[in-house]
Structure 1
Amino acid sequence: MSKATKLAAGAPFPAIALPRLGGGEIAPAAMEGWRLLVVYRGRHCPLCKPYLGTLDTLMEEFAAAGVQVMAVSADPAEKAAADVAEFGWRFPVGHDLSVAQMRELGLYVSDPRSPQETDRPFAEPGLFLINPDGAVQVLDISNAPWARPDLAAIARGAKRIQDLGYPIRGTHAG
């Protein structure tokens, strides 16, 4: 069993880049300001749709907190585009997240249970709030589709972190 190295709170966000639907790329480490990257399991996941739907309804709250929102998966462009067409997500969506990139992000990686589920290994859910210095301010990594953070709480928390100058938590080195 191959283990991923978990990304530490306060660590620089890795310099990964993924193709973005509609052109260009999603490269959170190269962006400026506050950014939220949500990693979803892919088109095959029935729990991802409502979760990303909630993310879409919170776009204005994240924007008010100065946070750019994006989502990525291992899906190929066709599957990611089908989801965007079906659900109308307004945030940028990246595709073709590789297993090596999943490992770099410290994500859990699963194999499909059958060819009907999907045709490639995929990342289990992950969420990364990256601060303007490019450091991971908040992260949540799960190994199951039903264990994900409350996105409204993340939006409120992002605003509170900025308003209070709240430090990165979980960095005790002793």
Structure 2
Amino acid sequence: MYTQKIHPGANFPDIKATLSSGEQVLLNTTRDGCDWKVVVVYRGKHCPICTKYLNQLESFKQQFLDEGVDLIAVSGDSKSQLDAHLEELNISFPVAYGLTQQDMQTLGLFISEPRSEQETDHNFAEPALFVINSENKVQIAEIANAPFIRPDIELLLNGLKFIRDPDNNYPIRGQLSY
């Protein structure tokens, strides 16, 4: 089976998800005076590696905001799964639920079936991370097929500082692959 990937330089699609408060948000909408966005797709409450990664991301949150980069995490979990997960997370950036399988396919994510009912009750996306620039273009895309592959947060942050510095005139990379 082949999947259609979202390519660097493409417009990030208008995908909605829901915060635990019930507020629907567009994943590509920035807030707090930011003009770029990092969208972290995580597997769901069932994944301890995701919990660890999201908690690590929190420790860099202010540095991202200082750089003008907003954060959001999203999964295909239900509201009850997100609410239970929020009890395990020590984060203050928005986390949304309700990413549909169609949304996952639109983003070109790898999708897995649960191994058992104890894992989760729905198909779920494997981890991905997208950096969306001020023109709503995908600046960076990292799409994994297993929970063990995640971008190093400090390296990502330093890279974004470099990219966002106008003196570096750094283009979107990887656009010749399609």
Scaled by the length of structure 2, the TM-score of the pair is 0.92
| 1:93 alignment partner AA | V
5+ residue gaps, structure 2: none
Select which of 99, 103, 112 maps to 1:97. Answer: 99
Gaps of 5+ in 1: none
What's the offset of the Cα at 1:88?
A: 2.3
Query: Among the aligned pairs, what percent are the same residue?
Result: 42
Structure 1 runs of 4+ off > 2 angstroms?
Answer: 28-32
* 1:128 alignment partner, SS class: strand
Alignment match, 1:10: 9
What residue identity is the alignment partner of 1:19? T
SS of 1:172's equivalent in the other structure is: helix
SS of corresponding position for 2:88: helix
Task: State how far apart, in whole Å, the 2-side matches of 1:154 and 1:80 are.
Answer: 26
- Aligned length in residues: 173
Letter in 2 for 1:4: T
Q: Does 1:29 align with 2:28?
A: yes
Amino acid at match of 1:82: A
Q: Could you tell me how far apart the structure 2 residues matched to 1:19 and 1:173 are?
A: 33
Which residue of 2 is the match for residue 118 of structure 1?
120
Find the counterpart in structure 1 of residue 66 from structure 2: 64
Contact 2:17 2:27 in 1 (8 A): no
**Maintained 8 Å contact 1:18/1:26:** yes
In 2, the alpha carbon distance for the partners of 1:130 and 1:165 equals: 17
The corresponding residue for 1:147 is 149
State how far apart, in whole Å, the 2-side matches of 1:152 and 1:26 are.
27
Deviation at 1:30, TM superposition (A): 4.1
Deviation digits for residues 51-108 of structure 1 (CA, Å, limit 9, x no counterpart):
1111111101111111000000011011112222222211101101110000000100
